């Protein structure tokens, strides 16, 4: 009888069905929230203002609005598989300043395809993820964006899951990157009961310091004579690779650990005429400042700098750091939108006047508590059995990779190495740009379509850790023949080592095969 009961339990876990009709959820009563839609979907759905999403399983889409304050209007959606639910819930985060529900790749559609009931929110405002005018004069909306919306969405979504299936989720997970990584850590720190396991990629958790770093870079290149043009980025990267690529035993154009690279920008100063293959003295000085990161007048670091070796590519410095000219990078946009609309409440603010002694006190005083997720005490999350996987790409040009290392080290310092090792892993991924893309093998699941197993997929590794007690070790990342298409052929694999280990080539065999490397 026990065997029969176990088999029944396993079968139920593998594919739960809905207990009530989708449409009946329209009349569901939730404290502080209103259900605005409950509709059955199968095959295709077209989100407001977006392209159609095809190949969806049969699901129930529930939309609603949460109002935790008089100035709040948090839109959220919960997607629930009509059949084949895995008895798990997944929360999905937002990039940038949010402003929209995450529907497509890496969002609700991906989650339900993997069998989860899932939820996403716009965090309380609508608009482009690179502007923050909605925040001007609206402290409650900033609080919603900072921490409240993600938590409120998790609570309401789980209630909807329980109403639809007749039982709540047996496990809850959160996986996101960038601002979504900040949201992930905010959940672990402030609301440890919300999730059993969390994947936090490239977290913007030290928000105030990181965006001050954006101002630092913008100020360094405010003078056109000091600006580093996009035409010189390839030469910079070539010089870095020439200096440091062989450190891991493989000359493959990718630095295994750029922190070990002692490249000096002064080596690129033009000996005669200024060309695309060299730097002027002011440009070399700027490059050194970007690598070094922002400091106050005493020389104390405010935020880490950016790593050498990831200057080119579609998600490289030309997009994020240097732009096409002074004041034309994404970092400039994010910094000015944040400080104008959340800190100084004036569109007249000029980034060139920012003082890293005086103004950092103001920025931190007004926004650190609301936006920063830097608390290293994860003991409450640990007590409920929570597990956390951090990852960051070494080639990230949007958010400094060393920031995630600093947070990881702070957790180990606060909780002790033994306790931290039982609940936290950090993976620094060579060649990975901001959350995705970059040269080499950089894809190991977690945020997108599932890979084969827990050795290749961060989300699968997290679930095995939570549910079976098997801690993740070395992961294997993949590079596909068609960039971004996990159904295309795998052309390269590479080990992703738990920090502080790095992969070292054995000296024999293909450099495109992870089996020929070891973590040391």
Active-site annotation holds for 72: no
**Residues facing 78 on adjacent strands:** 62, 119
Q: Which of 72, 100, 176, 178 is catalytic?
A: 178
Q: Which of 196, 252, 382, 396 is catalytic?
A: 396
Rounded to whole angstroms, how far apart are CA atoms 204 and 461? 23
Tokens 């240097």 found at = 322
| Dihedral angle computed from the Cα positions of residues 220, 267, 250 and 178, in that order, rounded to the nearest 10 degrees | 0
Active-site annotation holds for 456: no
The Cα angle at residue 501 between residues 498 and 506, in degrees rounded to 5:
115
b/e sequence 38-71, b meaning 16+ C-beta within 10 Å = beebeeebebeeeeebeebbebbbbbbbbbbbee
Q: Which residues contact 91 (CB under 8 A, 6 or more apart)?
A: 118, 119, 120, 150, 153, 154, 157, 172, 173, 174, 176, 187, 194, 195
Active-site annotation holds for 314: no
Tell me the DSSP string of 59-91: EEEEEEEE-SSTT--EEEEEEEESS-B-SEEEE
Taken in order 343, 344, 348, 349, the sign of the CA dihedral is negative
- For residues 447 and 460, the answer to whether their CB atoms sit within 8 Å is no
Q: Which of 434, 436, 456, 459 is catalytic?
A: 434
- For residues 410 and 220, the answer to whether their CB atoms sit within 8 Å is no
Counting DSSP H helices and E strands in the chain, the numbers are: 15, 13
- For residues 313 and 306, the answer to whether their CB atoms sit within 8 Å is no
Rounded to whole angstroms, how far apart are CA atoms 339 and 242? 39
> Interhelix angle for 358-371 vs 207-220, to 10°?
140
**Residue 483: CA count within 13 A, CB half-sphere:** 8
Rounded to whole angstroms, how far apart are CA atoms 290 and 292? 5
> Interhelix angle for 149-165 vs 179-190, to 10°?
80
Residue 145 structure tokens = 């964006």
Catalytic residues: 178, 396, 434
């Amino acid at each position: 009888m026990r065997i029969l009961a176990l088999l029944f339990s396993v079968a139920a876990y593998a594919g739960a069905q809905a207990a009530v009709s989708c449409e009946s959820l329209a009349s569901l009563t939730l404290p502080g929230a209103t259900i605005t839609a409950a509709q059955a979907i199968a095959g295709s759905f077209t989100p407001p203002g977006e392209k159609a999403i095809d190949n969806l399983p049969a699901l129930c889409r529930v939309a609603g609005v949460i109002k935790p304050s008089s100035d709040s209007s948090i839109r959220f959606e919960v997607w629930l598989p009509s059949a084949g639910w895995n008895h798990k819930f997944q929360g999905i985060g937002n990039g940038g300043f949010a402003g929209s529900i995450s529907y497509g790749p890496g969002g609700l559609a991906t989650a339900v395809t993997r069998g989860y009931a899932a939820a996403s929110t716009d965090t309380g405002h609508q608009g482009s993820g690179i502007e923050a005018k909605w925040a001007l004069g609206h402290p409650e909306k900033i609080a919603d964006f900072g921490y409240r919306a993600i938590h409120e969405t998790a609570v309401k979504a789980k209630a909807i899951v329980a109403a639809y299936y007749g039982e709540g989720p047996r496990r809850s997970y959160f996986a996101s990157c960038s601002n979504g990584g900040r949201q992930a850590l905010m959940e672990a720190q402030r609301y440890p009961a919300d999730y059993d396991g969390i994947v936090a990629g490239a977290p913007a958790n030290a928000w105030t310091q990181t965006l001050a770093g954006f101002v630092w870079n913008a100020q360094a290149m405010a003078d056109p004579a000091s600006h580093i043009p996009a035409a010189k980025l390839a030469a910079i990267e070539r010089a870095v690779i020439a200096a440091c690529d062989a450190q891991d035993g493989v000359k493959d154009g990718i630095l295994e650990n750029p922190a070990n690279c002692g490249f000096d920008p002064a080596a690129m100063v033009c000996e005669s005429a200024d060309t695309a293959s060299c730097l002027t003295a002011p440009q070399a000085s700027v490059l050194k400042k970007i690598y070094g990161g922002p400091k106050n007048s005493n020389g104390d670091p405010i935020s880490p700098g950016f790593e050498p070796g990831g200057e080119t590519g579609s998600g490289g410095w030309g997009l994020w750091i240097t732009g096409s000219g002074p004041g034309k990078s994404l970092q400039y946009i994010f910094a000015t939108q944040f400080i104008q609309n959340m800190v100084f409440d004036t569109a007249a603010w000029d980034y060139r006047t920012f003082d890293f002694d005086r103004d950092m006190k103001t920025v931190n005083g007004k926004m650190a508590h609301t936006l920063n997720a830097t608390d290293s005490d994860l003991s409450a999350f640990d007590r409920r059995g929570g597990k956390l996987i951090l990852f960051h790409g070494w080639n990230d040009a949007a958010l400094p990779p060393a920031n995630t290392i600093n947070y990881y080290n702070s957790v180990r310092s606060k909780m002790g190495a033994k306790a931290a090792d039982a609940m936290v892993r950090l993976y620094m991924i060579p060649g990975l740009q901001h959350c995705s893309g970059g040269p080499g093998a950089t894809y190991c699941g977690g945020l997108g379509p599932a890979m084969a197993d827990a050795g290749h997929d961060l989300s699968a590794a997290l679930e095995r850790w939570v549910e079976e007690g098997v801690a993740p070790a070395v992961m294997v990342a993949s590079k596909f023949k068609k960039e971004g298409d996990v159904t295309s052929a795998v052309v390269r694999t590479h080990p992703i080592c738990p920090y502080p280990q790095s992969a070292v080539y054995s000296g024999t065999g293909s450099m495109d095969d992870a089996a020929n490397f070891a973590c040391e």
